[in-house]
Amino acid sequence: MNDLNAGSVLADAQAESPASAQPPDRLPLWVWMREGLRVALFLPPRTATASPTPVQLLVLVLFHSTLSLTAAWIQATGPVRFNLHGWLAPMWSPLLMLWVAWWAMAPARSPGIPTPSGRLAAWYVLWVWASILPSMLYSLVWLALRWHGGVGSIAYWVVYGVATVWGLWALARMSARFIRSFARTLTLFVVLGAVSGMRLWQLSNLSWYSPWLPDHRAVAEASAQSGDAKDDSAWMALSQSVFEEQQALWKRQIDALPAQRPDLVDVYGLVFSPYAEENVFRRESSMVSALLQERFDARGRVLHLLNHAKTAATHVWATPENLERAIAALGQRMDREQDLLVVYLTSHGALDHELTAALDPLEVASVTPAMLRAALDAAGIRNRVIAVSACYSGGWIEPLATDYSLIMTASDATHTSYGCGSGSKLTYFGRAVFDEQLRQTHSFTKAFANAVPLIAQREREAGKDDGFSNPQIHVGAQIAPVLQALEQRLDAAPVRSASDAKP
């Protein structure tokens, strides 16, 4: 802690050698950049009592901001769009730190020491440039891990933690040279640690606080130029008749659900597709709905919730409220202790593990793992097979896992999946697991095991450059015998074709 109480700017000025001394009122732009990098290496800044000019301050901050945006852009995958909210939202932290630093520097009024505003400008410029090296370490290691397909949650937080501690300690050492009071230096350090903790909490919702977001419209336009455009508009004509038809449609579909058959494990299904702007999700959810009815003796027992501009008269909207109502309705029809519910969700996913929802001009909220778990528990449905086809969907496993559940996801919690663009007929996960393997077996575990190498091969052939999606599976100890008995029944008495089933 001696470094934190080592001295003041005046002492630094007296210690400067004549050879390295600069005019006390102004330093060249490149010197501020160089001394900031020295601070990152835990070396004292050789700026004496100088402070940057307003133009220098503006140039240095804008240059650093450009570097940060470029680094974030390089880490992004696929087409992206600038997210002004995500860029501006974290800026509360440097503003708070500037205020606390100004408070810590204010008491010093000794002759020869710049005013608090001058010292604050120097402190801020050095801080901004000192953060470049830890940020570069984080970005380069993160990219290296992603390139080799090894970006996992532990590795990510280790790299982030090292970069954060490095930056904190470099700033603490540098701040001690601008603040004459040990108590105020310590206060600044404590506040800095708290701010870093808040920023860490912000990272749990990267879809909001990232300056770059996936640009799904750009993907769609590229697909259109290549000849594989959307088959209809994503804009829905919203009217009172549409709302009334939705209510009537909901009642008809719930009333049509067959009752549970005694002494038989019935399969019920809920297929949920909340993103209306790309037809791949419409096709995939329709395929899964038909498959469950054809292959798993679930004719009439599948509710298909779908957001699409052209299906308001045939499909109930895929909203969080309708998801909860559908699960509750299925729970009332089925034997909650004996029967099996298969839930299939397909959409775009984010690192915060929310499924993207869209149905313009209707506002639709995202669905989260906690929301689905709460609905299933409230309905009292014990036996569950849940499949999530979305990027970063591995984050759904832990919140949903029970002894009576099987959960399959298209990726792990830190990787994107593939095949969710407008140019795809089906996602890689939905195609391999459901459209191919589950047409050959009634075993979900076998279908998943056989599909994983196919997905890996297709991702390599497609040039996926952000690491293997790494699909995940959880099989609860108590669900295994239920699924085995169902598999044996279906294998012994194959159900008749349901080609006339309406997806």
- Given 214, 232, 261, the domain boundary residue is 214
Same domain as 328, residue 473? yes
Residues facing residue 386 across a β-bridge: 343, 407
Q: For all residues of the chain together, what is the average pLDDT? A: 80
Same domain as 162, residue 268? no
Which of the four pLDDT bands, split at 50, 70 and 90, describes residue 479?
very high
Q: Is-contact 20 46, C-beta < 8 A?
A: yes
For 477-494, b where at least 16 C-beta lie within 10 A, e where not — what string? Answer: eebeebbeebbeebeeee
Q: What is the mean pLDDT of residues 264-291?
A: 93
pLDDT tens digits, one per residue of 174-187: 887 777 777 877 78
Of 67-76, 230-239, 292-301, the range with the lowest mean pLDDT is 230-239
pTM: 0.59
CA neighbor of 296 nearest in space, from 269, 261, 278: 269
Same domain as 349, residue 276? yes
Does some domain include residue 186?
A: yes
pLDDT at 481 over 80: yes
Q: Which residue has the tokens 């909203």?
A: 319
Q: What is the mean pLDDT of residues 255-263?
A: 90
- Give the best-scoring range by mean pLDDT among 71-75, 135-139, 235-239, 443-447: 443-447
The percentage of residues in the chain with a pLDDT greater than 90, rounded to a whole number, is 39
- Given 214, 232, 257, the domain boundary residue is 214
Give the span between the Cα atoms of 149 and 459, in whole angstroms.
12
The percentage of residues in the chain with a pLDDT greater than 70, rounded to a whole number, is 77
Give the span between the Cα atoms of 383 and 278, in whole angstroms.
31
CA neighbor of 42 nearest in space, from 116, 118, 120, 133: 133
Q: What is the mean pLDDT of residues 380-385?
A: 97
Give the span between the Cα atoms of 353 and 390, in whole angstroms.
9
Give the span between the Cα atoms of 369 and 356, in whole angstroms.
13
Does some domain include residue 417?
A: yes
Two structure tokens written together for 470: 């790494």
Same domain as 256, residue 182? no
Please state, in angstroms and as integers, the Cα–Cα distance from residue 294 to each residue in 125, 305, 482, 483, following that order. Answer: 66, 18, 20, 17
Q: Is-contact 433 387, C-beta < 8 A?
A: yes
Same domain as 278, residue 180? no
- Domain encompassing residue 193: 2-214
Same domain as 295, residue 166? no
Q: Which residue has the tokens 């470049």?
A: 132
pLDDT at 426 over 80: yes
Q: Is-contact 187 100, C-beta < 8 A?
A: yes
Q: At what angle do helices 132-147 and 116-130 cross, to 10 degrees?
A: 20
Does some domain include residue 189?
A: yes
Same domain as 388, residue 301? yes
Same domain as 418, residue 375? yes
- Given 199, 214, 229, the domain boundary residue is 214
Does some domain include residue 35?
A: yes
CATH number of the structural domain spanning residue 331: 3.40.50.1460
Does some domain include residue 499?
A: no
Say which DSSP state 394 is in. Answer: G
pLDDT at 209 over 60: no
Which of the four pLDDT bands, split at 50, 70 and 90, describes residue 61?
confident
Of 34-43, 101-110, 205-214, 485-494, the range with the lowest mean pLDDT is 205-214
Which of the four pLDDT bands, split at 50, 70 and 90, describes residue 213?
low
Q: What is the mean pLDDT of residues 293-320?
A: 93
Does some domain include residue 480?
A: yes
* pLDDT recorded at residue 199: 66
Three-state SS at 362? strand
Q: Which amino acid appears at position 13 of this protein?
A: A
Same domain as 318, residue 250? yes
Residues facing residue 267 across a β-bridge: 340
Number of domains in the chain: 2
- Give the best-scoring range by mean pLDDT among 146-160, 346-360, 390-404: 390-404
Does some domain include residue 503?
A: no
Same domain as 209, residue 248? no
Q: Which amino acid appears at position 232 of this protein?
A: D
Residue 499 burial (10 A CB sphere; 0-12, 13-18, 19+) = exposed
Same domain as 281, residue 208? no
Q: E strand or H helix at 450, and its extent?
A: helix 444-462
Does some domain include residue 469?
A: yes
Residue 4 burial (10 A CB sphere; 0-12, 13-18, 19+) = middle
* pLDDT recorded at residue 203: 55
Q: What is the mean pLDDT of residues 416-425?
A: 81
Please state, in angstroms and as integers, the Cα–Cα distance from residue 188 to each residue in 60, 96, 169, following that order. Answer: 23, 11, 12
Same domain as 167, residue 24? yes
* pLDDT recorded at residue 468: 92
pLDDT tens digits, one per residue of 323-373: 999 999 999 999 999 999 999 999 998 888 889 898 878 888 899 999 999
- Phi-psi region at 159: left, alpha or beta (left = phi > 0; alpha = psi -120 to 50): alpha
